[in-house]
Each structure stands twice: as C-alpha cells, then as structure tokens.
Chains A and B, each alone.
Chain A
Amino acid sequence: MAQQSAAEWFRERDDPAIAHTKPEALDDITVLDLSYNSYAGAFCTSLLAEFGAEVIKIEPPGGDFMRTCTPYGIQHQGVGLNYLTEGRNKFHVTLDLQKEEARKILEKMVAQADVLVETFTPGVMDGWGIGYEQLKEINPRLIFASITPFGQFGPKSKSKMSDYDNIIQARSGMHYATGEILPEGKTLDEMPWAIPTKSGPWIGATPAGAFMATGIMAALYWRDASGEGQALDCATSEAYASFDDWAYQWYQETGRVAERFGNLDIAGWLYCFAPTKDGAVFLGALRLEQWQAFVDMLGKWDEWGAAEWKEMAPFMAEDQQIKWADLCFAETRKYTNRELVDMSVEYSKKGRLAPIAPVVAPIGNPMDTLEDPNWNDRGLFTPVDDPVYGPVVLAQAQYKLTETPPRTKWVCRPVGYDNGFVYLKYLSYGPEKLKKLKEAGVI
C-alpha cells in the first residue's frame, strides 16, 4: 500500500480506459424504451444501457420527435444532437403502436423483457390494451416505469399537456427564484434580463431520468427477492423540484417565498459569484474559519475585525449579505481570476488559518471544459468511434467503478436500424416476415 499512492491504486482499477475489460452490472436485463420526445426517458435508459442493459428503443416508423430537437436545427447525419448523445448502447427499432398487430408484437417482447419505460399521457397505453394492468398478466415480473408531466394520479394527472424542459423548470420553483434582481426604481423595460431565468441545457428533465433509473434498480433489487414486478410513477417537475434544499421549509416556517437573489445565496454566506478584473469567480466559505480565511486572504483581517467574529449567523441577514458582498467585490475586482485562485492555494499552505482556505473557482465556459486536460485525462470526452456516425464526443464515464464501470460502446442508430436483429432475436422474424410488417406499416 505504501509504495503506491492512493490515486495510482484507484486509477489502476477504475480508469475508464480499461472499462471494456470488466463485467457489466445489468447485462442480464432487457429494457423496452417506449419514451417519446422525452429527454427524461432517454436519459433514464442511457444510464441503464451504460451498465450493460439491453435497451431496445422503440420508435414510431417516422422516428422519435426528439431526433429533431437540436440546437439551431443542426443535425449530424440526419439525427439531432440530443438524440445522438442519448442513443448510446441502444438498439433502435420501429413499431407503430397505433396498429393492433404492432401491439401484439409488443406483448411478445414484454413477455421476454424486465423493464418497460414509457412517457405517454396517462391512459394512452391502457386504451391501447398495453397498460400495466394488462401487461402484468403477460409478465408479472415486469417493471413498468412511467415518466410524465403530472404523474399517473392526482388532480392534475388528466392534463394532456406535453412535456418540455422549459416547462418542467417553470413548474418546479427553480426558474422563478433564479436570476438577477430588478433593483427598486428600475423597470423590466430598462433591464429586460432581470427576470426569472432557467438553468442549463435540459437540467429540468434530466433528474426525472436519473431518479427513475434509481427507482428501476430498486424495483429490480426487490424483484430479485420477491419475484414480483411493479409499476413506477415519476412526474418530471416533482423530480426536479425535490432537489430544493431550503425554500420549502423556509416558506412553511416563515411564510417567506424565495425570490431571485442574483448571484448571492439566500441560504449561504459566503457563497456567491464575485466580479474580478477579467471575469468572475465563485467564492465559497460556509464555515466561520473559512470566511475568516477569505477575509485574511484579502488582507482585511484587522480592518474588518475578523478575529472578533464568533459565528456565521449574523452574516446571513439580507442586508448584511448585500453589505458584505459590496465590500468583498470591491476587493475581488482588483485581481484576475488566476490571481484569486493562486491566492487561495497559497493561503491553504501558508495562511494564518491554513490549511483552512476559501473555495475559489473561476467561472469557465463550456469550451474551456471540453478542452480541459483534466477531464480528458479522466475519460469524460474520449471520442466514441461509432460505425455509423464516426468519432463523436459526448460526456461519459460520469462515475468510475472498479468492478462494473459504465461504458459507451456505440452512439446511436438511424430509425429502424436494428429491426432485423432485434425482431430476429426476440421473435425469430426473418426478412420475409419483416417485409410484410413493413408493407403493413407496422414497422
């Protein structure tokens, strides 16, 4: 143990570069993915496919609408970039579930599957005769996972509205309370950007997918013991909203509603983005000693009386946060991002309170991230050399495991590309039968 550093020891065992030499945790599981225009659904089955599940993505003959959801309409060999990244390790087949014959085919597939993921409006699958109550008769071990805007029951579940990421974000309470403050006396016409602002690319939809993947594996774990499948129900905005750490109790306790607070943090000090000479940095010092270390790092230990501070609570009040932010930002503007990062590293070695130091992180752009040697070294952006789509860069290896690491084996497939293989494997349908199904518009 002593000869080798811990970093080397772990890397030797979990480097994504050797993932292909290891077993897969879900390689005995078959998943039918019926999700349509749902990033949550696609992300969910990607997480399972990365662990080796055989995911069969079932699209209508025209293809999933999500194939067209792509920035500025840009496609890569006929497929949009979101579908491209979440088509990973899946087999892509077509089946027109509007047709009776197609539903019979689905039933045969269900009899051999472990998991079904769907995103139709509640009642649609039932109406087709392939809802959970019907399919469990065919396969009582089936885990039937539904991801929808409002869930399978409750007063709003009758809504027929489609699901979109921006709608999820707006329903979740996060969009409302993120964004710049509109200063008193200013109008939205003067500052049209000081409005509720959504975050990230499709971060509203992604949590529902990850929660459902967790729920599916919990259901599999229970099925391994009991032999029984079950139905799972996730509402997308509930999943995203459930990440809230403090606003819901704050409202219940005080009646106060979390409003926009710019780049400060209602619940945390010191915890903000701060302007610098050449951009901005994140500053984090939630513990008293860290906050004192930050003040010391700025050379304000005596002037601001940091030695006298006993607890963090007094700094949390709204007016105090604004006052101290102004004082701190006047200082941070004197330095570049690089200088502030270096100052914090230096402080952690030699400062009065070392090794305690504030967290200082430069605010980077996504091209910096893509080109960062650290992430490339860690296998995040290793291009996948896909037989159809060529070398594609997508984010992968988001967690590293020593025994059953995730991996991306291929990227995506065109519409109906795997009909031949999948229908032969599960139903022994050869070219003759497939031709007939195609003529009938079933596939």
Chain B
Amino acid sequence: MAEVTWRNYLENKHSRPAPLKGIKVLEACTIILGPAGPSFLAKLGAEVVKCEFPPLGDTSRNLIPFGDYFREQGTGFVHANQNKYWMGLDLHKPEAQEIYRQLAAQADIVEENMRPGVLEKWNVGYRQLKEINPGLIYLAKNGFGQWGQYAEENRPSNDGASQAFAGFAWLSSQPGQRPLKSRLYICDNFGALLGEVAVMAALRHRRRTGKGQYIELSQTESIIRSMSWVWPYQQMTGKMAMPAGNRDLCVSPADTFRCRDDRFVAIGAALPDDFKGLCSAMGRPELAEDPKFKNHLDRLRDENTLELLDIISKWVRGKTPEEIERLAEKHGFAATRVQSIKDIVDDRHWRERGTMAYVDDPMLGPFYEFDFPVLMSKTPPKVRWSVRAIGFDNEYVLTHKLGKNKEQIRKLYERGAIGRWADMISRRPPEDWDGETGVIMSRGAANPPGKGK
C-alpha cells in the first residue's frame, strides 16, 4: 500500500503544490545558523528574500574546503541558501532601512542572526517592525539569546563555540582523549531547524488568531535540548555524564568495530530479536540466554556491555563491513559500514527518492543537492535553484515587490543603499556565465548585473 501512496513521487513532484505557497520571508542572516532556516521554508514553497551587505555579503561565502570553490562560489555557502531571491542592501543607509521596512511590511516572517540590538539601532528591529506589521512573526537567532548574562556581555558565538560551550564536544570524544568537534556544523543546522519548528507553530497561531509574535533562538540552548538523558542522569546520580567513544551508553550492544581490512562497521542489536540475531550470526546463540545478557537492562551494565563488546569486536575483526551487512540482513540485526560522503552522493536509493535531488541551476550548472528530508505525498518540498551573487535580484525584488521604477532604483544604487557583488571569486558569478541566464527582471537593460562590477 505504501507503494500506492508513493508511486511516481519523484516524477509527479512538480505537478503538486507547495505547502507554504504564499508565505513571504525576509532574511538578514549570515553563516549557517541564520540562512539554513529560511532555506528549509523556501524548499517548502515560501518566497524568501535574502538581504546581504554589498559588496562582500554573507561570510559563509568564505567556506572553501582546502581552498576549493564550488563553481567559483563558496562551497560551504551553497547548501543553506536554496530557492532564494538575492538583495544587496546596506542597512547602514537610511534609504536601505526604508526598503527593508517596506519588505517587512509585506512579509509573514522576518529572520535575522545579528547581535542583539544591531537591527534596532538601524530602526528595523522587531519593536519597530511590529508597529507597521502587527501580524509579523520574527525569529532572532544567535548564540545566547536576547537576555541573561551572556547576552548582556554581548558574547559572540558560532557553531564550534556552541559545540564547545554546551558540553556537546566534551561528550563526543574517545574516553581519555581530548574533546572532538563534529565535522558537521551541528549546532548551526540543528539550531536553524528548531527555529523553524517554532516559526511553524507561530504561523499556525497566527492563522487562528491573526497575531504575530517574537521568537528568540539560541543555538546553544538548541543543542542542549538534544542531549536527552544527560541532564536527568546528572541530576539523579550527581555524576557527570562521561564520553564513551562510539559506544552508545543507552543501547547494548551498539558500537563501531574495526574490520579485517581496517575499515569500520557500526552494529546495533538491542531489541530482543536483534540481539538473538546477532548472537546466532556470531555462532554464539547461547549468549542470548546468558543471564548477564538476556535482558537489556542487565546487558547495559558497564561490565556486561564491555564483555559483550569484546566478544563482538573479536568476531568482527575477521570480517569485512560488507560481510557484516549481509549477515545483519540475514540474521536480523542492524549494521552498516561507516559510510563516506561518496557512499551517499552516489547512492541510487537517495537519488530515486529525490532526497539527493538533481538541480539544473542556470548559473552554477547541474549538480545533486539535499532536498528537505520529509517527503510529502501531496505537497512535496522542492529544490529549484541555488545561490546567486550579492544583489543579483535587486531589480526583480524592487520592481516586482515594491513597484520601484528604473529611476528610483538608479538613485538607490547611487546612494549606495543597494549594491552588488565584489569583483572576486566567491562573490561574483562564475567566469563562464553569459551575463543573462538567471536574471529575472533587467536582462539587457541599461544597467545589467553583468560580470564583475
């Protein structure tokens, strides 16, 4: 039956509406914590206008793995910024503040991750915007929130600081070794996602009551929320939660093991049938009946788990990850090789589901991009286009959304209220761009947003 529901999902994706059609989002966001949130909404169909300071724009345009650009753009910039319209707006200038206010007046949602008080100083903080748009939902994101000791100290933050500060990195290490930073910008991305959970609840409240509201999101508080058992454990035992490497302290057995070829495989086998399956795969069915291991709660005791993990690791050492995966399917437990990014990007499964979506971008060319990872049978999320240079859509937004004419737009450029990209790699369009493809409003006009300045 599930086949009926999901038949031809990918093929039909674009003959179905988007769930957030009609929702307008204005963003003044940088790095990942800020822009990733509106990007989720944009994949769900919201119209997002992103404002950057010309000519350098978003700092995450600097994220280039070992110096490698992606189609001449910041490699780490692409992901958090799909389906957006691109404004270059210098909010230091009163004329730019006025543009921002006009956009906010039309918006359903405003999102920003400036330091507390910065936008208010420029006359476009929440308390000013709600006067012109009382239904506005306003999400302010940062490291420490808007009030409290750290907010008052105006401490800067970012993902790595948050991993460090929450105790998350400290817990994510091998026993006795130094704390490890996740390869992932987890506090940025998870914080951004929780911010949208709150925004969606606020949107529903607004539909019911007409009322907007203010939301503050701290990335450190977000990651703290994810750390589940750690807090009651420390409260109840008075002991500090300790790192355990790849072993899951709450699931037994669950760990990562070294294989014959020095690659790694993760195994999880805690449910009664899974544990029996693993024991039979190891040719040790009697372990499943051993009083030390029979019940999960007994098995979880430190000495019992360690004994069991030792047995498993010796068994795995003689096998390859693929052999363990096959045995897992056959005997009924969970196992996977520790997959690299190559395993994911090249996986037919992800592509056929459209979670690794094919994007044919007018400026960057074709590539595979993560779509919003909740597939919706009647209102599928969609990645449509990728990043643009700073101010690329100035003309479109000002003409189409605000009804400005050519002369007014020219003056805004002249005053420096709006602007475009710096003539440097990662800021300008790719070298092979024809100066037209992707431009919405002013193609061939007197002042086209062509290459460079």
Contacts and interface: CB of A to CB of B under 8 A. Distances in A.
Given A165-B248, A207-B190, A232 B377 contact: yes
A47 interface: yes
B158 A284 contact: yes
Contact of A71 (B69, B203, B250): B250
A263 B339 contact: no
B56 to A, nearest CB: 9
A324 interface: no
B145 A364 contact: no
B396 interface: no
A425 interface: no
Interface residues of A, number: 187
B424 to A, nearest CB: 8
Interface stretch (B193-201, B407-415, B438-446): B193-201
Given A133-B5, A364-B166, A381-B231, A68 B297 contact: yes
Contacts of A39: 228
B228 A393 contact: no
A234 B233 CA distance: 30
Contacts of B98: none
B373 A131 contact: no
B79 A249 contact: yes
Interface stretch (B83-91, B167-175, B283-291): B167-175
Contacts of B350: 154, 238
A38 B145 CA distance: 30
B451 interface: no
Interface string A5-45: 01111110110000000010110100000000101000000
Interface in A351-372: 357, 359, 361-370
A201 B230 contact: yes
Given A249-B70, A258-B183, A242 B341 contact: no
B300 A233 contact: no
Interface string A203-243: 10011101111110111111010001011111100110111
A132 B5 contact: yes
B51 interface: no
A122 to B, nearest CB: 5
Given A166-B255, A195-B264, A233-B374, 4 more contacts: A222-B17, A246-B63, A361-B162, A378-B145
Contact of B213 (A206, A266, A403): A403
B256 interface: yes
B183 A65 contact: no
Interface string B207-218: 111011111111
Interface string B240-258: 1100011011110011101
A176 B374 contact: no
Nearest to B302: A72
A30 B209 CA distance: 19
B164 A7 contact: no
A156 B19 contact: no
Interface stretch (B99-107, B146-154, B397-405): B146-154
Interface in A71-104: 71-76, 80-82, 84-86
30 contacts: A11-B146, A25-B208, A73-B299, A133-B4, A149-B334, A154-B349, A159-B329, A163-B334, A166-B256, A167-B254, A180-B174, A180-B180, A193-B174, A206-B226, A211-B373, A215-B376, A245-B76, A250-B68, A252-B368, A253-B69, A271-B160, A273-B164, A313-B426, A345-B153, A366-B166, A375-B224, A378-B218, A398-B224, A403-B205, A406-B198
B125 A244 contact: no
Interface string A153-196: 11111011111111101111111111110000000100001011
Interface in A110-139: 122-123, 126, 131-134
Given A170-B339, A251-B342, A366-B230, A162 B374 contact: no
Given A39-B228, A167-B268, A267 B203 contact: no
Contacts of B251: 69, 164-166
Contacts, number: 627
B173 to A, nearest CB: 7
B339 A273 contact: no
A131 B3 CA distance: 11
Contacts of B271: 37, 65, 162
Contacts of B340: 173, 176-177, 257-259
Contacts of B60: 286
Contacts of B173: 197
Contact of B296 (A68, A174, A201): A68
B339 A176 contact: yes
A72 B233 CA distance: 10
A289 to B, nearest CB: 11
Contact of B156 (A26, A123, A357): A357
Q: Which 5 A-B pairs have the closest CB atoms?
A: A164-B268, A215-B374, A366-B167, A73-B300, A170-B266
B341 A206 contact: no
Given A197-B180, A243-B190, A249-B78, A151 B375 contact: yes
Contact of A249 (B75, B178, B235): B75
Interface in B58-82: 59-60, 62-71, 75-76, 78-80
Contacts of B172: 178, 197-200
A82 B147 contact: no
Contacts of A210: 190, 193-194, 197
Nearest to B298: A73
A177 B379 contact: no
Given A6-B120, A166-B266, A361 B329 contact: no
A265 interface: yes
B343 interface: yes
B367 interface: yes
A121 B27 CA distance: 39
B63 A171 contact: no
A258 B185 CA distance: 14
Contact of B160 (A175, A177, A220, A361): A361
A268 B76 contact: yes
Nearest to A193: B174
Contact of A196 (B169, B264, B270, B370): B264
Contacts of A132: 1-2, 5, 377
Nearest to B145: A378
A335 to B, nearest CB: 16
Contact of A280 (B19, B179, B209, B234): B179
Interface in B125-162: 125, 127, 144-153, 156-158, 160-162
Contact of B201 (A26, A72, A314): A26
A7 B116 contact: yes
In this complex, the member of A70, A257, A369 whose beta carbon has the largest number of chain B beta carbons within 10 angstroms is A369
A395 interface: yes
A175 B266 CA distance: 10
Nearest to B140: A10
Given A210-B194, A249-B78, A123 B177 contact: no
